[in-house]
């Protein structure tokens, strides 16, 4: 797994440095900043590449050899263009090496966490893995989830699978490993953008403190490994990097040509193009993260143009830069934007015409106050510390802090937009906002640390004392991040993997398995044990489908819900004294289910299929039993 992570890291840095070399950027930037910008550019490069190839060259397929050749070519070009500067690019200052150590330590916690959990967790990970496999096999981003399910994908963000398929190709690992490696690498690097912003705009000590807070002290984003929220995480890795690039690009255009250092026209256009690329990458990785990103960009651009409002020439250059940057970013996302918007508008119009029950709305949109610490990743006292940090940054008129203080209410407004009862405004739910807040938390804490040090006129000794204290605190907290485990969310056990081999060898390709099921919304089921992964490991279908069933045609969704409800009836409810409903066997048979699968983990909600009870029902025959796995065949009615 570590070897695959190193392969991905190199594969991200090469196109990033290639783009930096072509644009001639980096004269006034510290070495580590350039490495982090290169990393962000590399993350954005592949989604843009894969979507662009699918739109412009639909007959072209990619694969391991073409990808390797592309990387070798870009590495040679970048190496040649940077040959005179390479010494300065590897000469880091002591605090920069400290930041590298923090990032490395954070990555260590993320990969240690999954060392004994080789299959990704929870419900989203299944379709992430299937889409990784399809992308790798087809050599392009898939248009549908066939042959697993007839689900069109023109309204779903596919950018992550450009990265995971690349790992599958270059590291020669299976899809689930490629997904886990990509997710944990991005998780470990989640603080690089915040560090970059603070290092460039506030101060290096605050930047390093923020990296420790996000990577080691906060539960977020470490908790993402339990949830499979990998597309949102990937978009959030790029968000602060894109923000900084847009900020510095517009700022450079508004600067007077007489000011020094004055960038060349090549650097100006190159920096703007790079900002557009990374901003497009945010959208292609996760549509909702783009919705979180746009308000922050609006705040920054408004402030930058307001600063030069009395200089008509600078204002004109700034407006032109914003328009050009926006046009390039729009062009790069156009292959997916039109279809995504069309489906979004159609869905919201349909939601406005319907009269949904209060249940689904409450379950999806409403989050009690008591859930905030868990979702944000800090206890209430920690949230209080962050609010104090925001107050310090605001009172000191720190530009980064002021923008973040305004950004957070806008994010919360998106989360609470459902209260307006206007379906078109329901871009996201509050939960997705709360789990993003580690980014503004890191920014606010870093700003406050720098402002307090300035207020106290702290010297070098005091700054080093702060760094040492925070690093020690991070090392103390690191073991907690390796144990940020919600075990019930990891469905697949070694016993399940062994059973999958039996299924491949002993069941027909058109077999369909009824599995332990949980309805997180009334019409949205997902599996609860290893049976949920049957489609990936065996190619057979299950009763629960995947977590993006909502994108399927209506009749497919209805069939999945019907099968899952029948499985629920067959499970009964031992706690409530409700026995298994024997008539559900006939219902499942009529719906095309041929087998039942019970994994060792059963159902975390306590309403799972009981192998002892099933063995007593007519129409069922146990055909496999080993290490807690039970498989029943649905036989002809007696």
pLDDT in tens, 126-172: 999 999 999 999 999 999 999 999 999 988 999 999 999 999 999 99
What is the pLDDT, as a whole number, of residue 30? 86
Q: What H or E segment, with its residue span, contains residue 578?
A: none
Residues in the chain: 638
Say how far apart CA 554 and CA 551 lie, in whole Å.
9
Mean pLDDT computed over 298-323: 93
Q: What percent of the chain has pLDDT over 70?
A: 96
Mean pLDDT computed over 546-564: 94
Q: With contact defined as beta carbons under 8 Å apart, do 130 and 535 qualify? A: yes
Q: What is the mean pLDDT of the chain?
A: 92
What is the pLDDT, as a whole number, of residue 258? 60
Q: With contact defined as beta carbons under 8 Å apart, do 191 and 215 qualify? A: yes
Judge whether residue 203 has pLDDT over 80. yes
Judge whether residue 356 has pLDDT over 60. no
Which residues are within 8 A (CB) of 132 and not within 5 positions of it... i.e. 6 or more apart? 161, 164, 165, 168, 175, 176, 178, 179
pLDDT band at 260 (very low <50, low <70, confident <90, very high): low
Q: With contact defined as beta carbons under 8 Å apart, do 246 and 279 qualify? A: yes
Judge whether residue 360 has pLDDT over 70. no
For residue 624, what are the β-bridge partners?
631
Q: Is the pTM of this model over 0.85?
A: yes
DSSP state of 524: E
pLDDT band at 562 (very low <50, low <70, confident <90, very high): very high
pLDDT band at 339 (very low <50, low <70, confident <90, very high): confident
Counts of helices then strands in the chain (DSSP H, E): 27, 7
Judge whether residue 354 has pLDDT over 60. no
What is the pLDDT, as a whole number, of residue 194? 97
Mean pLDDT computed over 38-57: 95
Q: How many CB atoms lie within 10 A of CB 444?
A: 30
Residues 24-41: tens digit of each pLDDT: 776 668 889 999 999 999
Q: How far apart are the first and last CA of the chain?
A: 51
pLDDT band at 638 (very low <50, low <70, confident <90, very high): low
Judge whether residue 357 has pLDDT over 60. no
- At residue 605, the 3 state secondary structure works out as coil
Mean pLDDT computed over 422-436: 90
What is the pLDDT, as a whole number, of residue 141? 95
Mean pLDDT computed over 336-345: 86
Strands 629-634 and 595-598, by their bridges, are antiparallel
Phi, psi of 630 (to 5 degrees): -130, 130
| Biggest CA pair distance of the chain | 92
């Amino acid at each position: 797994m570590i070897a695959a992570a190193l392969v991905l890291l190199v594969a991200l840095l090469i196109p990033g440095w290639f783009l930096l070399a072509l644009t001639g950027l980096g004269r006034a930037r510290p070495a580590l900043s350039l490495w982090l910008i290169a990393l962000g550019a590399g993350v954005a490069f592949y989604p843009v590449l894969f979507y662009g190839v699918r739109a412009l060259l639909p007959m072209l397929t990619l694969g391991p050899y073409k990808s390797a050749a592309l990387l070798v070519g870009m590495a040679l070009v970048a190496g040649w263009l940077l040959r005179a500067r390479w010494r300065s690019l590897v000469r880091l200052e002591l605090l920069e090496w400290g930041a590298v150590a923090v990032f490395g330590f954070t990555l260590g916690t993320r990969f240690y966490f999954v060392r004994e959990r080789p299959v990704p967790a929870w419900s989203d990970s299944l379709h992430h893995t299937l889409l990784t496999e399809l992308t790798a096999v087809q050599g392009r981003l898939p248009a549908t989830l066939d042959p697993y399910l007839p689900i069109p994908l023109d309204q779903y963000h596919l950018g992550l699978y450009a990265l995971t398929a690349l790992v599958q190709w270059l590291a020669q690992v299976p899809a689930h490993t490629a997904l886990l490696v990509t997710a944990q690498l991005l998780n470990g690097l989640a603080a690089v953008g915040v560090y970059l912003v603070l290092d460039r705009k506030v101060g290096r000590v605050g930047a390093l403190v923020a990296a420790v807070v996000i990577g080691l002290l906060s539960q977020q984003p470490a908790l993402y490994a339990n949830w499979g929220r990998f597309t949102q995480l990937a978009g959030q890795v790029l968000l602060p990097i894109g923000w900084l690039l847009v900020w510095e690009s517009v700022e450079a255009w508004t600067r007077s040509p007489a000011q020094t250092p004055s960038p060349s026209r090549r650097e100006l256009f190159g920096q703007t193009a790079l900002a557009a690329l990374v901003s497009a990458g945010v959208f292609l990785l996760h549509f909702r993260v783009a919705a979180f990103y746009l308000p922050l960009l609006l705040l920054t651009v408004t402030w930058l143009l307001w600063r030069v409002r009395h200089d008509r020439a600078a204002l004109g250059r700034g407006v032109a830069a914003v328009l050009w940057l926006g046009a390039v970013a729009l062009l790069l996302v156009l292959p997916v934007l039109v279809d995504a918007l069309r489906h979004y508008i159609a869905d919201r119009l349909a939601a406005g015409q319907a009269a949904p029950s209060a249940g689904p709305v409450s379950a999806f949109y409403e989050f009690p106050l008591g859930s905030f610490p868990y979702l944000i990743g800090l206890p209430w006292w920690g949230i209080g510390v962050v609010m104090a940090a925001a107050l310090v940054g605001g009172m000191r008129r720190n530009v980064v802090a002021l923008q973040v203080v305004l950004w957070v209410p806008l994010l919360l407004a998106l989360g609470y937009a459902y209260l307006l009862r206007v379906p078109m405004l329901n871009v996201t739910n509050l939960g997705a906002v709360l789990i993003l807040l580690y980014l503004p938390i890191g920014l606010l804490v870093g700003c406050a640390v720098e402002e307090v040090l300035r207020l106290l006129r702290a010297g070098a000794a005091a700054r080093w004392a702060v760094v040492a204290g925070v690093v020690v605190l991070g090392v103390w907290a690191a073991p907690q991040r390796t144990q940020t485990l919600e075990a019930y969310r990891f469905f697949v056990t070694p016993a399940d993997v062994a059973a999958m081999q039996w299924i491949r060898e002993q069941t027909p390709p058109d077999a369909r398995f009824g599995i332990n099921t949980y309805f997180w919304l009334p019409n949205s089921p997902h599996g609860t044990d290893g049976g949920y992964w049957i489609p990936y490991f065996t190619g057979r279908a299950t009763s629960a489908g995947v977590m993006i069933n909502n994108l399927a045609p209506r009749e497919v969704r209805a069939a999945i819900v019907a099968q899952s409800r029948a499985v629920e009836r067959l499970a009964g409810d031992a706690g409530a004294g409700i026995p298994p409903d024997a008539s559900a066997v006939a219902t499942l048979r009529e719906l095309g289910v041929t087998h039942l699968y019970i994994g060792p983990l059963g159902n975390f909600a306590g309403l799972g299929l009981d192998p002892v009870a099933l063995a007593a029902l007519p129409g069922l025959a146990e055909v496999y039993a080993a290490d807690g796995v039970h498989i029943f065949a649905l036989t002809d009615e007696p």
